Each structure stands twice: as structure tokens, then as C-alpha cells.
Structure 1
Amino acid sequence: MKEYAKIMNDIERRIDDGEIRGGQRLPSIRQLAEHYSCSKSTIIRAYSELEKRHLVYSIPQSGYYVVLKKVELEPSAGHSVIDFSSAAPDPNLFPYLDFQHCLNKAIDMYRSHLFTYGTPQGLPSLLNVLSKHLTNHQVFTSPEHIMITSGVQQALAILTTMPFPNGKRTVLLEQPSYHLMIQLLGCYGIPAKGITRSESGIDLNELEHLFRTGNIKMFYTIPRFHNPLGTSYSEKTKKAIGELAKRYDVYVVEDDYLADMETDTKSDPIFAYGSSHVIYLKSYAKILFPGLRLGVAVLPPALLDTFSMHKRLSDIDSSMLSQAALEIYIQSGMFERRKQKIKTTYYNRMQKLNHALDTFNDTDDIHHAQISSGVHTHIVLPEQLYVPSLINRLSKKGVILKEIEHSYLPLFDQQQSMLKLSITKVVEDQIEEGIRTLFAEIKKTRRLS
């Protein structure tokens, strides 16, 4: 890394940590040159780059100052609400000024592209960048096999409705599963079957039976940091799923939406074990913004033409401006720096949540999962506990949770009573109080039932 970039990173870290406040005057060029033992031109370059990113501004004859952030976030009301229900990213962690710079630069670089329609596949230069970037997740593919979609949700809608080469129609889902995928299947009248997933995984013998006899077109799975369980498959299970898919000509739709939260460098996706029958999906919403509306689908050759046709008919192309900004964001190194900060913050919150659950769950019939990373976990409740009453009582105490009934297919007969706990919108010092309140209300609800 060049010297000016190191200085930039150090100044940005001090701003993020609050060591340097918005509106504060920064040290002079001469002072910083002495501090970092470098030339004045190096400091000038660092300040210039920070100014381009809207982190600092200069006043002639006065010096450089930190930009006072004017982004208004949701009021916390003194942290009066402890929200374990939200799946939305924490706005306090997201790179508004960084990405504003990338958008401005994208407009300058790709000005002519904004007045023409792009291609259904995506911006060619971004496809090349993503081909390299995906190798960080052990997804090795060429740009020709990548499709940019308007969020992962669009990819799921296309895959659900388009015909597959295997000629089958039924979609298999883990139960519980992503609630919008279940609603999508119901909306289009797509036949669906479920297979139970628990903290320990799924029954591979049952999976094989369903693949062999169930007319399964595709198996939708969230192997890593499952929604809503928060658990991840073992490498043995992922490898078995890849092998079964090839054996029985079933396509696996691997939704790896939280890949960037992975802390285990040895964890590979199912795609690494059976790419000919695996469709790999990745979202950038958890590291950037949900409003960016960009997802990535890595497709087997047999599906490319059909997927491309459905993509073109649904929206012609995804936002060129968003694509160009994402390319700049990744290429500049901003993506990797922001990812590390978000991953560390969420990891610390998850550790705090685990500790609180271990401390306050003193019951014999309530189980909480041990999740080391990701953004959510779950607790399994006894069937006789009336969950709506518990959630209502907790909301009056300022602790917000949601039922996960909508995460099951309507007729699935092995539903478990459980609560999902997300840490994306919970301040770290709220977690212990929230879990203490949760188990206190569980005891009260039991006494009243």
C-alpha cells in the first residue's frame, strides 16, 4: 500500500472512532509530514484524496477540516427500544460519504452509459471485477457466467418461474426458510415441498429421497448463516448436497447473502462442490445499502440463455449507475475496509448475545443455539408457551421480536415454536438488558398461562 493511502486510512480510522470530530481542524501539512516522517507532497495527496471522498474540506489560508456529517438517522429515543426483530443493516455502520464519492465518480466515468440501455448481464467492467472478487469466497467462475440482478430477490423470481433443463417443477425449501421466498412461490402458484432444518442440519437421507422421487426442479438453501436459524452447514453436508444435486439432476440455489460475515477461512460454499448444478447468489446489501438493489447470480451454462431472456424482459438491465459505483467501491479498496469494520462490529455483538443467553437462560426446556458469527440466532421454545402473548408483553417493555410462523410453508406439519434474535439494529450495550427482559417475561407468561 502506498504511503499516502496508509495515512488516509489512519485519518479515516480516527474519524470513525470519534478521535477526530466533525468540524474539527486537522493538523497542518507540515505537522503531519513530521508526524509520519514523510514528504509534504505525500500529505497533500492524502488530504486531496480524503477531500474527494467528502471526508475533509479545505479553507484557504486556514487549513483542512473534518466534514460534519449531516446524515440524520432514526432517533434512538435514548435507546428506549431494543429491536431484536429487524433484518435491516445498521445505518450507523454504512459508508454514506464513501459511496457518495463513488457515485460522483461513476457519473463522471460512465456519463455516456447513463443515456443508453445496458445489457441484461451487467456492466462488462463490473463483471470482470466480480469474477476476481468472488474468488475470495471460493467461487471460481468466468465473467460470462455472472449475471447482475436488481437484488437477489429478482434472481429468485426469475429462477422460480423460468423452465429448467431437467423439466421438473417443484421447489424444495428448508423449513423454516426465507419468508419472501415462500411468499414468492405462493404468489406464482409454484408447487413446493419442505424439508426440516434444525441447528444440527438436515437429514441427508430424506434429501436424497426427495431428490429421487419428488420431481424437484431446484432446492433453495441458505447454507451459511441461515435465515431465520442463523446456523451454517458443515463442510460434509455441503459436499453431500453438491453430489446429490449432480446425481439426481436437481439444481441447488445457494443463497449466500451473508458471505461477507464469514470468519472461518476454511468454509466453502456448495458451489465449490458441484458448480454444474449450483446457482450461486450473493447480495451486496449487507455491506453496502439495501437501496443499492444489486445482486449477483453465478449460473451453470445450461441456464444462462433462459435466465438472460427472462432478465431482459423483466427490467432490460439493472441500474448502470449502481453497477458503476459498486465497481469503483470494490476497486478502490473501500469495500474491503468497510467489510472488516462491519464484520468486527457484528461479531462483537454476537459474542455479547451468546454470553447473555448463557447467563439468563436458566430453563430446562428452552434451547438457544450457539452461533459464533453472522447477524442472528434463535431460541426454541416449549410448545405450551403462547408466543403471541409473550411478544406482546415484551413490546410493552420496549423489546421487539417477531414470530417466525411466516418462515414455514402453510401446510408444513413440523413447525417449531421459536424466536429469531437479530443483532443488526441492537446497540451492544442494550443486548444484556434485552435478554434479561426476555427471560423474565417468559417466566411471567408461564405463570399466567
Structure 2
Amino acid sequence: MIRLPMTEIDRTKPGPLFLKVKEEILRQIRLGGLRPGDRLPPTRQLATELGLNRGTVSVAYEQLVDEGVLESHVGRGTYVATELTMDALGISNGASSEYKWVDHFAGIDPPPPNLYPQVNGNLIPFHRNVPDEALFPIDTFRVSLDESLSIEGERLLSYAPKAGHPKFVSFLIDYLAENRLGGVSQNEVLVVNGSQQALDLIGRAFLRPGDTVVVENPSYSGALELFRSFGARIIGVDMDEFGLRIDEAEKILARERPKFIYTMPTFQNPTGRNLASARREQLVRLAARYEVPVIEDDFDGELFYDNPPPPTLKSLPGNQGVIYIGTPSKMLFPGLRIGWIVAEDAVVEHLGRVKQIADLSSSQLLQAAFARFAQSGALSKHKDRVRRAYKERRDQLLQSLEKRMPEGCSWSRPGGGMSLLVSLPSHLRADRVLEITADQGVLFSPGSWFFVNRGHHHLRLCFGSVPVEQIDTGVKVLADAVKRELRDRRAVALGKPSSLPQV
């Protein structure tokens, strides 16, 4: 009996579930995953594996039998027909203007992209969690690039060693010891093309369809999409003002066997919150007790505006199971595409081999230029500059929210990073509010993109790329839209006309 390479059915796409099962079986036959004479799993077994009603799978099988694609034998099971016609498989005998690329894609379909409404007028970009391009130190970094090429020349334009440019790795170890993480050896470092590639490599190395990943709820939407693209099942752990709730995490680890825990303990995206020091120690001990790796994404740990954040998880006792990810993208500029992984030797060696398969190596030129930029003192000056600029924008955003948002709304108060989470009254939907604000040029990210479940009444506001003089204007548009929604909901409850669309 053949095990169908199907782990789940996409319920978000329109159409009956039995047709989705039927089309997937046809696709596997066209691709050669199922061959004439292969026995299919019993309907009860396949239904259990897909989380469907047995009758749904039975209807799919019956239709395929009627169409001559499958053969059913009482007492023996269901088989792929020994003689298949092109018509039965939906294959054209002649030239077709539409090539069926979907039949050739492997694995699980990536999730659909998160799309924003069309904006009318000038844009106030609360949706962009990126640095302000006006603060990029372009001229200074150009000098570092030129000097690096002058000194090392051709070597920087060749492939890099697997772990990264040796001089950059040495610099990075000293830099981490001064800023975020001490006691790192060279064989514990892997240089990557930004933190997103680090997550991708970890996904490739650790995840198989059906594996479980534990995340904060809410979490980084790019990580959620990535883990889902590997077929992972995601479980969210609720947060409070002190970060991820360790008591809830322990309940999950007691009943599940996740491949890893993914967390952003410092200026978490989207909330901007810090995991409290005591909870950091508890999380490391908890993960060690259950032998579950922890992925620590420290993507903006140096962007603090009040007090320096607590120590990284990777710097705490019992950190052997922690895989640390860092990057200068949020602090400097994201197009640099530099990041790093710090982990046990065996993990770095394995991820390094995965990376070589994926892209051969990272840019030695950019690594050398970044090291020279930092060693010249320019990075320290730049950090001071952006911290002042982003602190001013954060303060203005918090002040405007306090001044303009209606009663029943609340928000996080980040000590660093470039985002915060706003919670609306639970009966409102952030995506509906977004449709209203987009008409006036204001975009934000709906909370449903960041939550494993629920999240419809939350939204993320980013302030890094919004000029300080536009923040209050943008918050006023948001507040007015929320007030309008509240009025409309009250009107509907009272049976009065409202501005809500009639559907």
C-alpha cells in the first residue's frame, strides 16, 4: 500500500473538500508519485491523516472510480487503474495555452502573501517594520567598501569559507562579546544572508511535514509563513506584559513534542515587549528539561531607548540547546543581508552544509565592509543617532495614542525595537479598520497576520520609517476609523442605519 504524500488539505481555498482530495490524487498520478497498480490507503486511514470526515474521502474515491482513474475491489481495496487515459487524468492530447505548473511544484504550497489595500493620497507607513532610509550612513559605508576592496581585493570577490569571511568571524566574536553575547568560539559561528535565511536553514534542517513548532502568540509573520511552508503545525503560547508565559509553555511541552521553540525575547515583533529576566532563566531551564531546542531571534536587541535589555538566552547557564540568531539589518540597513547563527559545534556544522547547498556562500565583501565600518567607530555613532531618532518617534506614537484613541483600546509600550501592538475592543476587526484608514493614506498590519489563532482585533504599528511629524496625523486617522467602527457597531446593535457595507 502506498502512503499518499498529503499531510493536510488547504481549507482556505474555495471548493468542496472532496474535490481537493480528488485533485491531489490526480496530481500525484500525473507526477508519478502514484503508479498504475498502486494500492491507495483505506478511506478511514486517509481521512484520519487529513483530519477529514471519512465520507469526504469516500466520495473522492468513488468519483475517481467512476472516471476510470481508480479501481475498487471488494475485500482487496482501491488501486490506481492499470490502464489510464490522458482524458481521465485531465491531460490534453494537443498543445495547450495553459501549462499546468502547479502539477510540477513540490512540497506544500507556500501561504498566500499578506496584502495591503490600495492607498489613496500620501502614505503614512505604519506597516513598514524597516529602518528609515533617510538615516542610512551611505557615504561612510561607501568608504568602508572602497577600503576593503583596496586592502583585500580579489579575495573578497571569491567564494567565502563555509562559516564566513575569517576576519569577519573574528570581528563578530569580539563585537558580540562587547554588545550581546560573550564566550563564543569560531566553530560556533555561521554567517548567513540575514536572519530570514537563518530561519530558513533551521526550517530545512529541523522540520518535516507534520512537525510541531511552539511560538509566542503573537509572533513574527515571516517566521509563521516560513514554518508553515515546511508543513509544520504551529502552537502559540500567550504573552502578557512580561513576555511569553512560561506556565503556558510548560503545559504545552508536557503534552507535545515540538521540534523547537521559536522566540524573540528582546523587543519582540509585533509587541515590542521584553521577556523578563526571571522568565528567561525559566525558559532555558524548561527547554533543557524537556530537551527541546530554543531558537532565539535577537533581530533588534541593540535598538533600546530606555535601558539595555536583559541578557540573551544564549548567555544564560544551561544554554546548550539555544540557537542564537542576530543581524544588523534593523539597526543599519536591511539590504546589507548579513546575519549570524551562534550554536553548538554540531549544529553549526550541519547548518553550514545545508547553507552550502542553498547558496554556496555569503558575500565576503559585505562582511569585510561591515567589520571595517564598525571598527572605524562609525557604527557606534550611527547607533547613537538612530536610537535618538527612533526614541523620539516611539515617544510621539505613545503620546498620540494616549491622546486620540477611544476608550477600550490598549497598546504595548516597547523599550526598544520599531513596533508595538494595539488592541481594539474585541468585537471590532482590524482588517475592517484598515480598509477605512487606507482611503486616507494610512497603512498598518492587521493582528491576524501575527497570531496563530484569533488576533482579529489587534494591529501592529511600526514607527521606524514614519517621519515624526506624520505620526500624530496617522494616529488621528486610525483613531477616527476606530471611533467610526464603534459607532457603526452600536448602530447595528440598536437596529439603526450605519455606514457598514450591506452584504
Question: TM > 0.5 between the two?
Answer: yes
Matched-pair contact (CA < 8 Å) for 1:95–1:338 = yes
| Cα distance change of structure 1 residues 388 and 191 upon mapping to structure 2, 3 Å threshold | closer
Q: How many residues align?
A: 364
Partner of 1:281: 325
* Distance in structure 2 (CA, Å) of the matches to 1:285 and 1:97: 18
Please show how residues 1-400 of structure 1 align to structure 2 within 5 Å: 80-140=122-182, 141-163=184-206, 169-263=211-305, 264-265=307-308, 267-273=310-316, 274-363=318-407, 365-400=408-443
Matched-pair contact (CA < 8 Å) for 2:325–2:340 = yes
Q: The residue matched to 2:243 in structure 1 has which SS?
A: coil
Displacement after TM superposition at 1:370 (Å): 2.2
Matched-pair contact (CA < 8 Å) for 1:90–1:425 = yes
Matched-pair contact (CA < 8 Å) for 2:429–2:457 = no
Matched-pair contact (CA < 8 Å) for 1:149–1:155 = yes
* Distance in structure 1 (CA, Å) of the matches to 2:233 and 2:179: 32
Displacement after TM superposition at 1:280 (Å): 1.0
Displacement after TM superposition at 1:227 (Å): 0.9
Partner AA of 2:340 in structure 1: V
* Distance in structure 2 (CA, Å) of the matches to 1:353 and 1:105: 40
Larger Rg over CA atoms: 2
Matched-pair contact (CA < 8 Å) for 1:94–1:287 = no
* Distance in structure 1 (CA, Å) of the matches to 2:480 and 2:154: 60
* Distance in structure 2 (CA, Å) of the matches to 1:426 and 1:217: 38
Partner of 2:470: 430
* Distance in structure 2 (CA, Å) of the matches to 1:211 and 1:117: 42
Q: The residue matched to 2:446 in structure 1 has which SS?
A: coil
* Distance in structure 1 (CA, Å) of the matches to 2:365 and 2:418: 29
* Distance in structure 2 (CA, Å) of the matches to 1:202 and 1:267: 14
* Distance in structure 2 (CA, Å) of the matches to 1:173 and 1:242: 15
* Distance in structure 1 (CA, Å) of the matches to 2:197 and 2:418: 23
Q: The residue matched to 1:281 in structure 2 has which SS?
A: strand
Displacement after TM superposition at 1:266 (Å): 5.7
Partner AA of 1:403 in structure 2: P
Matched-pair contact (CA < 8 Å) for 2:273–2:415 = no
Where do 5+ consecutive residues of structure 2 fail to align? 1-120, 490-503
Displacement after TM superposition at 1:198 (Å): 3.7
Matched-pair contact (CA < 8 Å) for 1:99–1:325 = yes
Comparing 190-199 with 222-231, greater Cα deviation is found at: 190-199
Partner of 1:3: none
Displacement after TM superposition at 1:178 (Å): 1.0
* Distance in structure 1 (CA, Å) of the matches to 2:459 and 2:315: 32
* Distance in structure 2 (CA, Å) of the matches to 1:254 and 1:200: 17
Partner AA of 1:95 in structure 2: P
Once the two structures are superposed, residues 123-180 of structure 1 have per-residue CA deviations (whole angstroms, 9 ceiling, x without a partner) of 111111110111233411122211100111111111112149xxx9422111111111
Where do 5+ consecutive residues of structure 1 fail to align? 1-78
Displacement after TM superposition at 1:235 (Å): 0.6
Partner AA of 2:322 in structure 1: V
Give the share of equivalent positions with the same residue, in percent.
26
Displacement after TM superposition at 1:448 (Å): 2.4
Displacement after TM superposition at 1:375 (Å): 1.1
Please, what TM-score do these two structures have when normalized by structure 2?
0.69
